[in-house]
Structure 1
Amino acid sequence: MGVKKIYLIRHGQTDFNVRGIVQGSGVDSSLNEAGHRQAARFFAAYRHVAFDRVYTSVLQRTHQSVRGFLELGLPHEQHAGLNEISWGTREGTRITPEEDEEYFSVLQQWRAGQTHLSLQGGESPDQVAARQRPVIDLITSRSHEKTVLVCMHGRAMRVLLCQLLGYPLSQMDSFEHHNLCLYQLDYTGSMFTVRNFLDVRHLQETV
C-alpha cells in the first residue's frame, strides 16, 4: 500500500484553555482569537500538502482549527471516537486547590497503570482507547488515502499516540502537546513511526 502519511494536530487555543477550565468531550467550546490565529498559521504552512481527507472530532474547536482546509473543499469526516476524554462532573469547572488532590491522584494512578479508573461520571483512558480503535481501523484500512489530516484533543491525542506506537496507556504523558501542535507519522501497513514530534514551528511565524 506504500506509506500513509498522517498529520495529527491538537485544536487551537480556547478561552477555557487560558482560564484553566476543564473542557473534555462535554464542553463544545470555540476557538478564541489566538486560536484562530494559530489555525491560520498552520493552514499557511501546510496548505500545499495534498491531503486526501480531513478527520476531526465532532466538537467545533477541531472544525474551526482546520477550517482553511475544509474551505478548499477537502473531504471531511467527523468521528465521536476522536472526541476528548470525558472528565465527567469536572467539565466546565476550574481545577481548584480543594479538588486538586482528587484530580492529580487519578492522573498518578493512570501513570501507575490503573488506566481503567476515571473521575466521577467521566471516562477512563481504557474507554477512550476502545472508542478510538474503530476510527484507527477505518483510517488505516483506506489504502487509497495516502495523506490525511487528523485534528483532535490533548488527552485523547495522548491515548491515540500510545495506541499507534504500541506504548502502554500508562506512558501517555510522554506525549506532550500544545494548542495547534503537530505530530507527523508514517504508517507502512504494519507499523507507525514518528517523523515529527511536537512541532510548533508554524506558530512562531510573525503575522
Structure 2
Amino acid sequence: MRLLLIRHGQTPSNLKRLLDTAEPGPGLTPLGQRQAAALPGALAEERIDALYASTLLRTQLTATPLARARGLDIVVRPGIREIEAGELEMRGDEAAITTYLTTALAWAAGDLDRRMPGGESGLAALSRFDEVVAEAAAGGAESVAMVSHGAAIRMWAAARAGRLDPLEAADQHLDNTGMVVVTGSPADGWRLERWDSRPAGPRDPAPHHEGPAGEPLGDA
C-alpha cells in the first residue's frame, strides 16, 4: 500500500506557535483554507482510493476539497489525531515545545514507556496510529491519503519507516500541507519514499507560522 501522510493547513494556533492538541481544535486561517484548496491540484497525479482525517476539525477542513474533487468520503478516526500535549497544552514557550518534540521523537527511537507530561505514553500514541493504518490496509486500498498532524506524522514515520532515523526526523520540518509518503504494509513494514517538507499550497513566509509540531527540534 502507498500511504500519503498529509499535515493539515495552517491554523490560528500555528500563527501563535501554541501546542493546541485538544478536541475539536481550531479551524483554518485564510491561508490554511488556500492550502487545503490547493491539495487537489498538488495531488492530481496521485492515485487515492481512500481518504482519512482525524477527529480534530482542522484535518477534516483540509481534507474536504480533496474529498470533493475525488468523490470520496472522509473516514474520520481518532487514532491519527495529534499527540496529546497533556500539561503542555496551549503553551508556546521554548521549554514546553522542546519537551513536547523531544518526547515524541524519543518514542520514535523506541522509548515507548516514556509519557508526555500529563499525557499519553509512546506506546499508546503509536498503537492508535497503527490501528488506523492497519484498518486502511485491510480495506484493500492501493493508495490511501491520511490528513493528520505534524508531530504525529513525524513520530509514526520515524518509528515505522525503516530507512528513516529518528534523528533525521528531528532535523526535518513539515510545513502545513507538507506530506510524507511511505510504501509497504503492516505485515512487511514500511519504506520512506518521499518527505515533502514544503506545503502543497502557499506558504506563510514568517518563521514558525507552521506551528511548533512541524518544526525541526533544533528550532525549538
TM-score tier, shorter chain, comes to 0.7 to 0.9
Question: The residue matched to 1:203 in structure 2 has which SS?
Answer: coil
1:104 correspondence with 2:98: yes
Contact 2:176 2:199 in 1 (8 A): no
Q: TM-score, normalised by structure 1?
A: 0.80
Alignment partner of 1:161 is 2:157: yes
- Match of 1:29? 26
| Secondary structure of the structure 2 residue equivalent to 1:122 | coil
- For residues 12-161 of structure 1, the aligned pairs below 5 Å read 12-26=9-23, 28-47=25-44, 49-72=46-69, 73-95=71-93, 100=95, 104-105=98-99, 107-108=101-102, 111=106, 114-143=111-140, 145-161=141-157
Distance in 1 of aligned mates of 2:18 and 2:40: 27
The whole-number CA distance in structure 2 between the counterparts of 1:28 and 1:79 is: 15
Normalising by structure 2, we get a TM-score of 0.76
Distance 1:88 1:55, change over 3 A: same
* Alignment gaps of 5+ in structure 2: 204-220
Aligned-pair identity (%): 22
CA distance in 2, matches of 1:184, 1:104: 26
Contact 1:52 1:75 in 2 (8 A): no
CA contact 2:7–2:174 (8 Å) conserved in 1: yes
CA shift digits 1:16-65 (9 cap, x unpaired): 01111111244511111111111112222224544211011111100111
- State which structure, 1 or 2, has the greater radius of gyration over its C-alpha atoms: 1
Greater alpha carbon shift after TM alignment, 187-196 vs 128-137? 187-196
Displacement of 1:170 after TM fit?
5.5
1:146-171 per-residue CA deviation (whole Å, 9 max, x = no partner) reads 11111100111112212431479964
Give CA deviations for 1:118-158 in whole Å, capped at 9, x if unaligned.
34321233321122221122122222x11111110011111
How many pairs does the alignment contain? 197
**Within 1, Cα distance between the matches of 2:10 and 2:199?**
16
Q: Which amino acid in the other structure matches residue 54 of structure 1?
A: L
Q: CA offset at residue 80 of structure 1?
A: 0.6
Answer yes or no: is the 8 Å Cα contact 1:50–1:147 preserved in 2. yes
How far, CA to CA, are the matches of 2:74 and 2:15 in structure 1?
28
The separation in 1 between residues aligned to 2:34 and 2:97, in whole angstroms, is 31
